[in-house]
Amino acid sequence: MAGTSDIEKAADVLRAGGLVALPTETVYGLGANAEDPAAVSRTFQVKGRPPSHPLIVHIGGAELLDDWVQEVPARARLLAEHFWPGPLTLVLRRGGRVPLEATGGLETVAVRVPDHPVALALLSAFGGGVTAPSANRFGSVSPTTADDVRAELGDAVDFVLDGGPCEVGVESTIVDATGDIPTILRPGGVTREDLESVLGCPLAVPASSRIRVPGQHPSHYAPRAQVVLVEPEKVVAEAEQTQELGHRVGVFLPAAFCGAEVKAHAVVQVPGSMAAYARGLYGFLRELDQRGCDIIVASLPAEAGLGLAIANRLRRAAGPRAAA
């Protein structure tokens, strides 16, 4: 676990315009000084990310929100007070401190307060905001350990803060809070049910939005292997048939089929708990890549609670050819 000297060194790297990989409760982020256009632009270069894709600005507390946005509607304030620190990102009108390089040219900015002691200590030591998209190549599987970051980006990162494995494991929920009724633009670590309970109204999860946000690319969170989605009861048959065709098949075996014999190259038993599934999802995808699978057969969980975020990530991993 990163100590005080590591955190101070990371803060110095940020002040000098460098890039720091930092742990959050969701995934590891590739951090840059949010007010330094050159550092922010380097983030895009290292990731291979299109500059039109906005970044999330991470700040040290809800009380700092007004420093980064033009206005905070009452419902956005309520969500910030209730869920921060935590895996919730709010999209609001961009304030003057945020360069257009960080927003993909948009007049809106995505902001959140991470719930990780190392990330919060870094933000405090640095004294500013940090843009921190996931610390991986654009479109690939997000990192949930420091070793994942090193394997993915190597020397392209100036400093890596090791905060242990990420507790949530999928990215933050992104909510458009610019209108009268907030809208979920990306499901994530805060569930729709929890948001609705706090706001007292239903929230839509549109397939597309006028505001660009991270994770909307048709193929995202993707391993090297092709991901094939089928109904849960067809996972075993699909895997075995594909294996017989000469592929090296990896299987996400649903909890309901625990212990079933599957003739495949590699099998991952999906946890029955959605929290455990979310926490392990990206690690499972990386494991099957590392074991040499060229096709991964999986099914979507019920889209309630964290299952909505998991299903979203699996659909993006499968890309436009997703069957479910």
**What is the C-alpha R_g of the chain?**
19
Other beta carbons less than 10 A from residue 210's beta carbon: 10
Model's pTM, two decimal places? 0.94
* The pLDDT value given to residue 130: 98
In contact, 19 and 160? CB cutoff 8 Å: no
The burial of 202, by beta-carbon neighbours within 10 Å (0-12 exposed, 13-18 middle, 19 or more buried), is given as exposed
Is the pLDDT at 71 greater than 70? The verdict is yes
Is the pLDDT at 58 greater than 90? The verdict is yes
Is the pLDDT at 112 greater than 70? The verdict is yes
* The pLDDT value given to residue 1: 78
> Residue range 227-252: average pLDDT?
97
Residue 212 pLDDT grade (very low, low, confident, very high; cuts 50, 70, 90): low
Is the pLDDT at 35 greater than 60? The verdict is yes
Give SS3 for 44.
helix
Element (H, E) at 274: helix 274-290
Is the pLDDT at 292 greater than 90? The verdict is yes
- Tens-place pLDDT, residues 143-183: 999 999 999 999 999 999 999 999 999 999 999 999 888 99
Report in angstroms the alpha-carbon separations of 250 from 46, 118, 224, 260, 297. Answer: 30, 34, 12, 14, 6
Amino acid identity of residue 42, one-letter, is R
Other beta carbons less than 10 A from residue 23's beta carbon: 30
β-bridge pairing 88-93 and 108-112:
antiparallel
In contact, 269 and 292? CB cutoff 8 Å: no
* The pLDDT value given to residue 323: 47
Q: Which of 45, 87, 43 is nearest to 306 (CA)?
A: 87
* The pLDDT value given to residue 322: 53
- Tens-place pLDDT, residues 9-31: 999 999 999 999 999 999 999 99
Is the pLDDT at 324 greater than 70? The verdict is no
Cis status of the peptide bond prior to 85, with omega within 30 of 0 = yes
* The pLDDT value given to residue 216: 64
